[in-house]
Amino acid sequence: KQAAYAKLRDVEPFTRCGTRIQVMINAGLRDDISALAMTGADGVGLFRTEFQFLVSATLPQRERQTRLYRDVLDAAGDKPVIFRTVDIGGDKAVPYLQSEHAEHDENPAMGWRALRLALEREGLLKVQARALLEAAAGRDLYVMFPMVSEPWEFDAAKQVFEDQLNHLRTKKKLLPDSIRFGAMLEVPALAEVLDILLPRIHFLSVGTNDLTQFLFAADRANPKLAERYDWLSPSILRFLRRVSLAMVGQQVELGICGEMGGRRLEALALLGIGFRRLSITPAAVGPIKELVRKVDLGEITSAMNGWLSDPTVNLRKELQAWADQRGI
Ligand code: PEP
Ligand code: MG
């Protein structure tokens, strides 16, 4: 199998019907970027910048952040890297930032985390914005905000970047060639205001790890619940299909960066409800490219529409049978 995936490294993931699917990787460390060359993935769909904060005993200074982001961009070469601003809090506790607050957060996943924390700790986001803008001087920069719950949070975070950009401009520094801003969709409430959000953003990336825990009110870190809520449940897939339908005709790219996209049947389901960009764990890139090449999008779309119209259907069983019939 490993040899088969290595062969697929240079093969572009076109479906049987000729649609190019983007297969990207999730990363968080400088060394993760070598997986781009090894797998032939299209870029980094999620770079978790909080990793540097998590492995550090003190707040990483701007120079260290800039160095990491520059190294990552150097290693990625021509391929795009979507940097997600810090998602600290929840299951990613950083004592030196949260100590004075931690004892009050009884539900940290739903608490003071990610963009909520970053917007209040404005110095933190400012420094990160400056580091990203400087690291991407003369290149394309993609920035994504985690846990956006309301459009104003996206605006406020973007403004921090605009302010830093203006500052660099007055100092006559070399700026990024282009900057694209995106939001993660992992808080269900955001899905109800896509009409307000979409005109503001360049791309939307669904984080199904968090989205699932919020849709089912089930802690993603609790092993007792891990097996219980299936990504192939009609609740999740109908929700995601609604999001994907809302994007039709909009100039906003839609992707998914939760672990779900790297699993065989789940990826199949996602293709069948309109997702064309999957950002996944590097080990899954080969298998998912192989799968993509065997899929006819028309077929899987009508199959999914049929199954999702009846919530009693066992989607895992149906998708498995569908895949077996086609040697997938
Ligand atoms: C997600 O929530 O699906 C996601 C990709 O982000 P993280 O797993 O880092 O919370
Ligand atoms: Mg998340």
At 101, the pLDDT band (50, 70, 90 cuts) reads low
Average pLDDT over residues 102-130: 87
Whether ligand 1 lies within 6 angstroms of the CB of 113 is answered as no
For ligand 1, mutation pick of 50, 85, 86, 87 (most atoms within 8 Å of CB): 87
| Ligand positioned closest to the Cα atom of 258 | 1
Q: How far is the CA of 257 from the centre of ligand 1 (A)?
A: 7
pLDDT tens for each residue of 45-66: 999 999 999 999 999 999 999 9
- The tokens for 133 are 């803008």
Q: Average model confidence (pLDDT) for the chain? A: 94
At 38, the pLDDT band (50, 70, 90 cuts) reads very high
pLDDT tens for each residue of 260-274: 999 999 999 999 999
Q: How far is the CA of 209 from the centre of ligand 2 (A)?
A: 6
Q: Whose CA is nearest to atom 9 of ligand 1?
A: 48
> In this predicted structure, which of 79-83, 91-95, 265-269 has the lowest mean pLDDT?
91-95
Whether ligand 1 lies within 6 angstroms of the CB of 28 is answered as no
Q: How far is the CA of 249 from the centre of ligand 2 (A)?
A: 27
ipTM, 2 dp: 0.99
| Ligand positioned closest to the Cα atom of 86 | 1
> In this predicted structure, which of 104-118, 196-210, 301-315 has the lowest mean pLDDT?
104-118
Percent of the chain with pLDDT over 90: 84
- The distance between the two most distant Cα atoms of the chain, rounded to a whole number of Å, is 62
pLDDT at position 7 is: 76
Inform me whether the pLDDT recorded for 312 exceeds 70.
Answer: yes
Measured between alpha carbons, how far is 243 from 17 in angstroms, rounded to an integer?
24
Measured between alpha carbons, how far is 130 from 165 in angstroms, rounded to an integer?
8
CA dihedral in degrees (173, 51, 89, 25; nearest 10)?
90
Measured between alpha carbons, how far is 113 from 91 in angstroms, rounded to an integer?
9
Inform me whether the pLDDT recorded for 236 exceeds 70.
Answer: yes
Measured between alpha carbons, how far is 40 from 5 in angstroms, rounded to an integer?
10
Whether ligand 1 lies within 6 angstroms of the CB of 258 is answered as yes
pLDDT at position 229 is: 86
